[in-house]
Amino acid sequence: MESKTEKILITGALGQIGTELTTRLVEIHGAENVVASGLDRWDKNLTSAGFYERMDVMNTQLVRQVIKDYEITTVYHLASLLSGTSEKQPLFAWKLNLEPLINFCEMAKEGLLDKIFWPSSIAVFGKGIPKTNVGQEVILNPATVYGISKMAGEKWCEYYFEKYGVDVRSIRYPGLISWKTPAGGGTTDYAVEIFYEALEEGKYTSFISEDTAMPMLYMDDAINATLQLMEAPKENLSVHTAYNLGGMSFTPKELAAEIKKEIPDFAIDYKPDFRQAIADTWPASIDDSVAKKDWGLSYEFGKTEMTKDMLKNLRVKLAL
């Protein structure tokens, strides 16, 4: 039997993850098989995908039409409000972070889609769970609207898998670090901003306190993990909520020490803001052994390699 060509739709394709994921999907599947979508108007420099749809994911009718028109088989659904922004618009965050996900699951249930990727976050863990080496099966207790929406989303994914066999896969991303696109309002964004300001100003004021450790992942490793999970045989997957992903764990002080190795005069001070309270409910490190066992998760970047790569690429990007 001839296998169907994989046709991919990415929502939130112009965001921090979407931009880089789209590039990799185009390399693998060809531009003609990738449709990027986002809220921005079309511009030829916007994306490397063969097609772009200006599409609000809350517009169910339009989303369905796009899926049908392009005969989409796989959706990477990334559009969402992040942790910092969600706290400012909690009711809207709840709607945006859940309704389109459920809508895509419904379409898969009807046979319109084969596979869905939807990212969860370490924000699902919350208060009262162990701080270090947090396992896959701990009881979730999120303290933020973002975490609550991700926890509920995970349960919807599991529900659609258990009840209807929908192939929806998810990862609990830690904080993601990338030099290509700016961060979008998350609690771990200090670990991106710090590099820009280290290069441009020689100093940085961190909105997270010096000894708060959080799990982080370099974007290259995040994209590889996402693609690995999506390529894994369905029968190998034992987790249908979302897989833990640990990456690396460091504090602002430790990251500053890595930057100082490259920029000896770099100075840092600390003025924690509302995001500190969010960070306080998040784990410091994560146990991701189940992802390693089920689909071969591995990483290339630790904090030293990541720091060197960020500074090297940002120097070129910022023409310094």
In three-state secondary structure terms, 118 is coil
Report which of 174, 172, 175 is spatially closest to residue 190, judged by C-alpha positions. Answer: 175
Place of tokens 């790569």: 309
Among 82, 101, 152, 225, the residue binding ligand NAD under the rule CB under 6 A is 82
Closest contact distance (angstroms) between CB of 164 and ligand NAD is 22
Q: Is 291 in the site for ligand NAD (CB under 6 A)?
A: no
| Other C-beta atoms lying within 10 Å of the C-beta of residue 159 | 16
Is residue 79 near ligand NAD by the rule CB under 6 A? yes
Binding of ligand NAD at residue 281 (CB under 6 A)? no
146 is catalytic: yes
Binding to ligand NAD by residue 245, rule CB under 6 A? no
Exactly one of 52, 76, 146, 243 is catalytic; which is it? Answer: 146
Q: Is 236 exposed, middle or buried (0-12, 13-18, 19+ CB in 10 A)?
A: exposed
Tell whether residue 142 is a contact of ligand NAD (CB under 6 A).
no
Q: Applying CB under 6 A, which of residues 47, 121, 144, 307 lies at the interface with ligand NAD?
A: 121
Binding span for ligand NAD by CB under 6 A among 12-20, 128-136, 155-163, 233-241: 12-20
The burial of 12, by beta-carbon neighbours within 10 Å (0-12 exposed, 13-18 middle, 19 or more buried), is given as buried
Determine how many CB atoms are found less than 10 A away from the CB of residue 113.
22
* Residues in CB range of 197: below 8 A, 6 or more apart: 203, 204
- In the numeric block, the tokens 């986002």 are attached to 38
For residue 304, the minimal CB distance to ligand NAD (Å) is 20
Per CB under 6 A, residues contacting ligand NAD are 11-12, 14-18, 38-39, 56-58, 78-80, 82, 96, 119, 121, 173, 175-176, 184, 186, 188
